[in-house]
Amino acid sequence: QKEVEQDPGPLSVPEGAIVSLNCTYSNSAFQYFMWYRQYSRKGPELLMYTYSSGNKEDGRFTAQVDKSSKYISLFIRDSQPSDSATYLCAMTTFSGGYNKLIFGAGTRLAVHP
């Protein structure tokens, strides 16, 4: 079993839809939870990160972490064609300057006009 599981999709939605992306994990020691966006032929770009459980909002993006269920989510409101990319969840224990990120496989999202 992988430490982080993520549905690879692809997910296809119309412009303006609300998108929900999810990951589950098995390591209860993870403390920081991140979402990265990766466009084709580019490196991952950090969208937002959350420490421990709770919600965090940044513009059209909302990240949720439920440590009791070992489940994290990213919601995208009013999705745009420019949101079409692969979304990677990542998590880490981050101790003493040692920061190994464990990534999910990524979910491919296509937003069509």
Partner 1 sequence: ETGVTQSPTHLIKTRGQQVTLRCSSQSGHNTVSWYQQALGQGPQFIFQYYREEENGRGNFPPRFSGLQYPNYSSELNVNALELDDSALYLCASSSETGVGYTFGSGTRLTVV
Where does this chain bind partner 1 (CB under 8 A)? 4, 6, 8, 32, 34, 36, 41-46, 49, 51, 88, 90, 92, 94, 97-106
| Structure-token pair, residue 87 | 């979304």
Q: Which is nearer to partner 1, 42 or 77 (CB)?
A: 42
Give me the residue label for tokens 């770009």: 45
Q: What is the DSSP letter of 110?
A: E
Q: Which is nearer to partner 1, 5 or 17 (CB)?
A: 5
Query: How distant, in Å, are the alpha carbons of 32, 46, 80 from that of 90?
Result: 8, 10, 23
Quote the CA–CA distance of 106 and 96 in Å, as a whole number. Answer: 28
State the minimum distance, in angstroms, from the CB of residue 88 to partner 1: 5
Length of the chain as a residue count: 113
State the minimum distance, in angstroms, from the CB of residue 78 to partner 1: 25
Q: Which is nearer to partner 1, 11 or 17 (CB)?
A: 11
